[in-house]
Amino acid sequence: MFPFIVVLFLAVPIVEIYLLIQVGQVIGAGWTILLVVLTAVIGVWLLRIQGLSTLTRAQQKLQANEMPAREILEGMALVVAGAFLLTPGFFTDTIGFLLLFPPTRIALVNLVASRMVVSATMQRKPRAPQGGDVIDGVNYHRED
């Protein structure tokens, strides 16, 4: 896993720089900068809409006494999308917009959810000891 992350941290900036240079040669440096800023602004606006929608669905599930697991995973995907959208560049913006697009995000969430194992344990509440008062977990009793 560690070598993959190192390669990712080296490859993504190289791809971004390459794409910025290529786009800058075609449309000019000023338009390239404007386009990068514009994609960030549009991305943040769409992120706000999608985030509020996901939050609303999570609250509805909580009110119905259901666990909003998918909504939590979608929220995590939206956080990653926001990070990609705020990172200047066309490659990261593309990944960010793909995560903002509901069908792509839901497919990713379903893939992640299918690989997760959820386990829960229930513990019984301890019974209060007979014949005394319990204060802060200590059993006090009188000896008459």
Length of the chain (residues): 144
The pLDDT value recorded for residue 114 is 85
Rounded distance between C-alpha atoms, residue 130 and residue 36, angstroms: 70
- pLDDT per position as a tens digit, 8-64: 889 999 999 999 999 999 999 999 999 999 999 999 999 999 999 999 999 999 999
- Of 104, 75, 99, give the one whose Cα is nearest residue 85: 99
- Hey, which residues does 133 pair with through a beta bridge? 140
- Hey, which residues does 121 pair with through a beta bridge? none
Q: Residue 139 in 3-state DSSP?
A: strand
- Of 94, 93, 92, 101, give the one whose Cα is nearest residue 50: 101
What pTM did the predictor assign? 0.74
Radius of gyration of the CA atoms of the chain, in A: 25
- pLDDT per position as a tens digit, 57-104: 999 999 999 989 899 999 999 999 999 999 999 999 999 999 999 999
- Hey, which residues does 140 pair with through a beta bridge? 133
Name every residue whose Cβ is closer than 8 Å to that of residue 51 and which is 6 or more positions away in sequence.
75, 78
The pLDDT value recorded for residue 49 is 95
